[in-house]
């Protein structure tokens, strides 16, 4: 009897359990929290790097800068918000406190803040202005805070962790809702030479206490993770999942952050951060180095289009304004993305090879409605399925956007797109992961039917949205290069029959400017600006500017580390940043390079280009430079220091000497590389500044 009743109950319960799973697909693996889901609904917002470095012309300040230097003449956060809004951005994250410790609000916990600056007689508060401007323009407000503090006297002691939490509390309680807290994992030395052991659990708890809806960013989340580079590129394969307990801020295997961990234990999606200029902070000499439209569009597809959100940095200038050149490019990008996202599949006919349950709740048509809350689900146990879209008429397209219903986890591992052509489906594009959003780019096809195949999934696929577009193709920005012997070439890769025009007098190239047809000589340096035109000069690329100093035509490498001048040492001065010299580290000075410049020259500084192949081993961090007339007697170093942030942002470094020098020989001592475990030293290019 007991047995019978037990079995009866078990049967009823079984039916219930079965029905519950029959009605709604079960979650798979790690799933997003409510705050993460809200963040996934965003896609594009601004980073603003504006702080003491704007005035000291640094990327990483030293903490010794005088508050008197902070004095924007026309600071207007409403202008930032207006630009961001018009650019289609959804929020702004401001560098409230960077590594030099200067606070943009009058903090009680440091003297190194706006309260001791001349700006608005010490009564100003950038966070107050910006949070109000964001509210006015309907933007979300976020804060960047660096725990690394090169100014605070308590840094390096347990007391500092308490101070940092109090500092956070100020920022999180005085300015309304904060949508994101951006923690920089950098952990250098403070004013007393000590490093801090950060209280991460305490920092996270503070944010949760005062802004429970804010997402927290760091290398390791806990809510959103760094993508592993500062170039703007997410991985083609990008899992939102991560084995979070293994990762921590400053995690040395940063390359794992790009694809994430397939089947990772936690949901920690990527935010892709990059700057619209080479540097994060404003430097006047980068006014003509704003990334081209084509470059920004490529980043758009490689961040937003690869399961990430895009945090694009605008280096606000010394006036306290977003610079005109940056604004212009942002508006070009907005115009382009508006044109490129006219959905040609909305409301069309769609069928699926497999369906979850009998009800229409999970019908294929959910994919083409406007809602992201409805989705198509394939039957339980189905990990391969197809969606057929009937476009109704021949339609030309070159982009496909596809989104998973991520509230129940990320599932798709491989998918492809085929177009109906000549009586059969032909594959036109393939992808790996999808996640929150994936956009595939492919050469334009004209077709009336499309088939999307989910080729491999971890559980039954759940797709909430598919859109197709015909995006205008952009003209590739020309690349200007100069050979060792001083001959300048301008090329426009992947473009059919471009007309390249250029100038050497600093003016903007137009359709009427001289046309580039063969290399020209520029041995002593100058400025080249170029632009590519197509379609009978009707469409043009963004202009590009390259500055050259004296060429290395007469130079020789006298010695490089232990090795004498030779084939590979020539790569140091071959004018080609793609090639680099590398050797094993030796002794106390890991490498010392001596250049003979062939003649005595006025020397005002030097340049160092780190390896450009995406690897980090051997990138120089600390350096010293000396000059000599005869290559025997050397000056004391005329310049020594560290290349700030070169590890994460390996762009060309331009260092000016405090005093002009004259000499024929230059010695570059690489004193330390960026990685503690590096085995080599590497240099792509060394150059000098003679002007
Ligand atoms: C890095 C910092 O060191 C850079 O200066 C910059 O703020 C970038 C966004 O994060 O870790």
pLDDT in tens, 374-404: 999 999 999 999 999 999 999 999 999 999 9
CA neighbours within 13 Å on the CB side: how many for 236? 8
CA angle 231, 233, 234 (to 5 degrees): 140
For residue 98, report the distance from its CA to the centre of ligand 1, in Å: 8
Residue 519: C-alpha distances to residues 208, 377, 488, 579, 641 (Å):
60, 58, 5, 21, 37
Is residue 477 predicted with pLDDT exceeding 80? Answer: yes
| Residue 633: other Cβ atoms inside 10 A | 8
CB–CB of 538/509 below 8 Å? no
Residue 77: C-alpha distances to residues 94, 120, 131, 366, 643 (Å):
11, 14, 9, 41, 30
Is residue 585 predicted with pLDDT exceeding 90? Answer: no
Sign of CA dihedral 98, 101, 102, 107: positive
Residue 651: C-alpha distances to residues 78, 284, 529, 592 (Å):
31, 16, 20, 21
Q: How far apart are CA 193 and CA 210, in angstroms?
A: 32
Is residue 495 predicted with pLDDT exceeding 90? Answer: no
Is residue 482 predicted with pLDDT exceeding 60? Answer: yes
Is residue 451 predicted with pLDDT exceeding 50? Answer: yes
pLDDT in tens, 306-343: 999 999 999 999 999 999 999 999 999 999 999 999 99
CB–CB of 117/102 below 8 Å? no
Is residue 9 predicted with pLDDT exceeding 50? Answer: no
Residue 381: C-alpha distances to residues 202, 355, 459 (Å):
43, 11, 7
- Specify the 3-state DSSP secondary structure of 633: coil
CA neighbours within 13 Å on the CB side: how many for 634? 17
For residue 470, report the distance from its CA to the centre of ligand 1, in Å: 36
Q: How far apart are CA 270 and CA 306, in angstroms?
A: 9
Is residue 6 predicted with pLDDT exceeding 50? Answer: no
**What pLDDT does residue 22 have?**
60
- Specify the 3-state DSSP secondary structure of 542: coil
CB–CB of 575/482 below 8 Å? yes
**What pLDDT does residue 358 have?**
80
Q: How far apart are CA 361 and CA 673, in angstroms?
A: 58
Burial of 189 (0-12, 13-18, 19+ CB in 10 A): middle
Would 414 be classed as within a structural domain? yes
Share of residues in the chain with pLDDT > 90 (%): 91
| Tokens 């004391």 sit on residue | 636
Rg of the Cα atoms in the chain: 28
Is the domain of 63 the same as that of 146? yes
Which residues fall within 8 angstroms of residue 259, CB to CB, at 6 or more apart?
235, 237, 238, 239
618: left (phi over 0), alpha (psi -120 to 50) or beta: left
Is the domain of 214 the same as that of 362? no
The mean pLDDT value for 474-498 works out to 92
CA neighbours within 13 Å on the CB side: how many for 541? 30
Is residue 143 predicted with pLDDT exceeding 90? Answer: yes
The mean pLDDT value for 512-518 works out to 96
**What pLDDT does residue 560 have?**
87
Which of the four pLDDT bands, split at 50, 70 and 90, describes residue 408? very high
Estimate the crossing angle of helix 77-86 against helix 126-136, to 10 degrees: 40
Quick one: tokens of 269?
């999606």
Is the domain of 130 the same as that of 149? yes
Any idea what the CATH number is for the domain that residue 313 is in? 3.20.20.80
**What pLDDT does residue 660 have?**
96
Residue in 81, 101, 541, 48 with CA at minimum distance from that of residue 275: 48
**What pLDDT does residue 7 have?**
43
Phi and psi of 100, rounded to 5°? -80, -5
Residue in 35, 4, 24 with CA at minimum distance from that of residue 180: 35
Q: How far apart are CA 440 and CA 304, in angstroms?
A: 11
Which of the four pLDDT bands, split at 50, 70 and 90, describes residue 586? confident
**What pLDDT does residue 497 have?**
85
Residue nearest to atom 4 of ligand 1 (CA): 645
CA neighbours within 13 Å on the CB side: how many for 310? 23
Domain count, the chain: 4
Domain end, chosen from 418, 451, 469, is at: 469
Quick one: tokens of 249?
């801020």
Is the domain of 414 the same as that of 504? no
Which of the four pLDDT bands, split at 50, 70 and 90, describes residue 676? confident
Burial 395-405 (b: 16+ CB within 10 A, else e): bebbbbbbbbb
Query: Which of 102, 180, 279, 645 is the pocket-test mutation for ligand 1 (most atoms within 8 Å of CB)?
Result: 645
Residue 521: C-alpha distances to residues 459, 531, 548 (Å):
61, 19, 12
Would 28 be classed as within a structural domain? no
Taking the CA of residue 95 as reference, the ligand 1 atom at the shortest distance is 7
Would 606 be classed as within a structural domain? yes
Bigger pLDDT: 16 or 100? Answer: 100
Quick one: tokens of 264?
């990772």
Would 7 be classed as within a structural domain? no
The mean pLDDT value for 488-510 works out to 92
Is the domain of 432 the same as that of 529? no
Estimate the crossing angle of helix 200-210 against helix 158-173, to 10 degrees: 20
Q: How far apart are CA 469 and CA 344, in angstroms?
A: 6
CA neighbours within 13 Å on the CB side: how many for 264? 24
Residue nearest to atom 10 of ligand 1 (CA): 184
Residue nearest to atom 6 of ligand 1 (CA): 280
For residue 619, report the distance from its CA to the centre of ligand 1, in Å: 17
Is residue 565 predicted with pLDDT exceeding 70? Answer: no
Provide the 8-state DSSP code for 44.
Answer: E
Taking the CA of residue 275 as reference, the ligand 1 atom at the shortest distance is 9
For residue 185, report the distance from its CA to the centre of ligand 1, in Å: 9
Of 221-225, 294-298, 547-551, 589-593, minimum mean pLDDT range: 589-593
Q: Residue by residue, what is the 3-state secondary structure of 104-151?
A: CCCCCCCCCEHHHCCHHHHCCCHHHHHHHHHHHCCCEEEEEECCCCCC
Domain end, chosen from 444, 469, 494, is at: 469
Is residue 645 predicted with pLDDT exceeding 50? Answer: yes
Burial 499-527 (b: 16+ CB within 10 A, else e): bbbbbeeeeebeeebeebeeebebbebbb
Is the domain of 252 the same as that of 271? yes
Taking the CA of residue 49 as reference, the ligand 1 atom at the shortest distance is 7
Residue 391: C-alpha distances to residues 165, 385, 448 (Å):
56, 19, 5
- Domain residues for 266? 34-338
**What pLDDT does residue 561 have?**
76
Query: Which of 94, 230, 275, 312 is the pocket-test mutation for ligand 1 (most atoms within 8 Å of CB)?
Result: 230
Of 5-14, 283-292, 522-531, minimum mean pLDDT range: 5-14
| Residue 589: other Cβ atoms inside 10 A | 14
Share of residues in the chain with pLDDT > 70 (%): 96
**What pLDDT does residue 567 have?**
60
- Specify the 3-state DSSP secondary structure of 224: strand
The mean pLDDT value for 595-616 works out to 96
CB–CB of 404/463 below 8 Å? yes
In terms of DSSP bridges, do strands 91-97 and 140-145 run parallel, antiparallel, or are they unpaired? parallel
For residue 640, report the distance from its CA to the centre of ligand 1, in Å: 22
Residue in 526, 514, 519 with CA at minimum distance from that of residue 483: 519
Taking the CA of residue 60 as reference, the ligand 1 atom at the shortest distance is 5
For residue 274, report the distance from its CA to the centre of ligand 1, in Å: 10
Q: How far apart are CA 280 and CA 598, in angstroms?
A: 36
On average, the pLDDT of the chain sits at 94
For residue 60, report the distance from its CA to the centre of ligand 1, in Å: 8
Is the domain of 564 the same as that of 668? yes
pTM tops 0.75, yes or no: yes
Is residue 564 predicted with pLDDT exceeding 80? Answer: no
Residue nearest to atom 1 of ligand 1 (CA): 184
CA angle 544, 549, 552 (to 5 degrees): 115
Would 15 be classed as within a structural domain? no
Is the domain of 333 the same as that of 355? no
Q: Using a 6 Å CB cutoff, which residues line ligand 1? A: 59-60, 184, 186, 273, 280, 645, 648
Residue nearest to atom 3 of ligand 1 (CA): 645
Query: Which of 188, 257, 648, 651 is the pocket-test mutation for ligand 1 (most atoms within 8 Å of CB)?
Result: 648
Would 216 be classed as within a structural domain? yes
Is residue 81 predicted with pLDDT exceeding 80? Answer: yes
In terms of DSSP bridges, do strands 479-482 and 462-469 run parallel, antiparallel, or are they unpaired? unpaired
Would 649 be classed as within a structural domain? yes
For residue 144, report the distance from its CA to the centre of ligand 1, in Å: 10
Is the domain of 82 the same as that of 229? yes
Is the domain of 387 the same as that of 512? no
Is the domain of 515 the same as that of 562? no
Would 29 be classed as within a structural domain? no
Domain end, chosen from 431, 451, 469, is at: 469
Any idea what the CATH number is for the domain that residue 596 is in? 2.60.120.260
The mean pLDDT value for 481-507 works out to 93
Quote the strand ranges of 410-437, DSSP E: 412-421, 424-431
Is the domain of 57 the same as that of 172? yes
pLDDT in tens, 517-534: 999 999 999 999 999 999
């Amino acid at each position: 009897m007991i047995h019978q009743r037990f079995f009866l109950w078990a049967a009823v319960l079984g039916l219930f359990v079965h029905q519950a799973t029959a009605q709604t697909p079960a979650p798979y693996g790690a799933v997003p929290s409510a705050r993460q889901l809200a963040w996934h609904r965003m896609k594009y917002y601004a980073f603003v790097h504006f702080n003491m470095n704007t005035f000291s012309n640094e990327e990483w300040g030293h903490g010794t800068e005088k508050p008197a230097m902070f004095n924007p003449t026309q600071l207007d956060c409403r202008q930032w918000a207006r630009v961001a809004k018009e650019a289609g951005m959804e929020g702004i994250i401001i560098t409230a406190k960077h590594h030099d410790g200067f606070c943009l609000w009058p903090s009680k916990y440091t003297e190194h803040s706006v309260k001791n600056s001349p700006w608005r007689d010490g009564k100003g508060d950038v966070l107050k202005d910006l949070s109000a401007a964001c509210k006015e323009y309907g933007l979300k407000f976020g804060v960047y805070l660096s725990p690394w503090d090169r100014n605070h006297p308590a840094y390096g002691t347990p007391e500092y962790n308490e101070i940092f939490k109090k500092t956070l509390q100020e920022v999180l309680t005085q300015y309304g809702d904060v949508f994101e807290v951006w923690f920089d994992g950098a952990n250098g030395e403070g004013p007393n030479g000590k490093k801090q052991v950060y209280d991460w659990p305490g920092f996270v708890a503070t944010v949760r206490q005062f802004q429970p809806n804010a997402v927290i960013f760091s290398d390791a989340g806990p809510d959103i993770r760094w993508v592993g580079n500062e170039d703007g590129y997410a991985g083609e394969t990008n899992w939102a999942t991560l084995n979070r307990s293994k990762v921590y801020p400053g995690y040395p295997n940063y390359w794992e952050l790009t694809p994430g961990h397939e089947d990772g234990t936690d949901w920690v999606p990527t935010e892709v951060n990059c700057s619209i200029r080479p540097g994060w902070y404003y430097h006047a000499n980068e006014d003509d180095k704003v990334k081209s439209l084509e470059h920004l569009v490529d980043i758009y597809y490689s961040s937003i289009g690869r399961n990430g959100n895009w945090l694009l940095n605008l280096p606000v200038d010394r006036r306290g304004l977003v610079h005109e050149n940056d604004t212009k490019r942002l508006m070009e990008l907005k115009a382009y993305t508006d044109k490129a996202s006219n959905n040609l599949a909305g409301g069309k006919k769609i069928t699926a090879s497999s369906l979850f349950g009998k009800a229409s709740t999970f019908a294929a048509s959910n994919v083409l409605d406007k809602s992201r809350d409805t989705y198509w689900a394939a039957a339980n146990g189905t990990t391969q399925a197809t969606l057929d879209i009937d476009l109704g008429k021949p339609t030309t397209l070159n982009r496909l956007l596809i989104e998973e219903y991520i509230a129940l986890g990320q599932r798709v591992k491989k998918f492809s797109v085929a177009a109906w052509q000549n009586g059969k489906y032909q594959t036109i594009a393939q992808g790996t992961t999808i996640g929150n959003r994936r956009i595939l780019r492919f050469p334009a096809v004209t077709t009336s039917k499309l088939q999307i195949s989910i080729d491999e999934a971890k559980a039954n696929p759940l797709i909430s949205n598919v859109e197709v577009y015909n995006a205008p193709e952009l003209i590739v920005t020309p690349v200007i290069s100069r050979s060792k012997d001083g001959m300048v070439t301008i090329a426009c890769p992947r473009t059919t029959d471009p007309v390249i025009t250029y100038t050497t007098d600093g003016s903007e190239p137009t359709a009427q400017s001289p046309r580039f047809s063969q290399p020209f000589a520029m041995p002593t340096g100058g400025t080249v600006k170029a632009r590519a035109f197509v379609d009978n000069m009707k469409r043009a690329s963004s202009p590009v500017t390259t500055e050259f100093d004296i060429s290395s035509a007469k130079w020789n490498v006298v010695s490089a580390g232990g090795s004498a001048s030779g084939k590979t040492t020539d790569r140091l001065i071959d004018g080609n940043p793609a090639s680099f010299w590398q050797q094993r580290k030796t002794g106390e000075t890991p490498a010392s390079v001596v250049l003979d410049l062939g003649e005595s020259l006025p020397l005002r500084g030097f340049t160092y280009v780190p390896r450009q192949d995406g690897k980090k081993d051997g990138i120089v961090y600390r350096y010293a430079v000396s000059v000599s007339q005869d290559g025997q007697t050397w000056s004391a170093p005329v310049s020594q220091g560290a290349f700030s942030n070169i590890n994460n942002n390996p762009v060309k470094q331009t260092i000016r000497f405090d005093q002009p020098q004259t000499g024929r020989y230059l010695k570059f001592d690489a004193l330390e590389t960026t990685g503690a475990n590096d085995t080599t030293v590497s240099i792509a290019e060394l150059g000098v500044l003679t002007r």
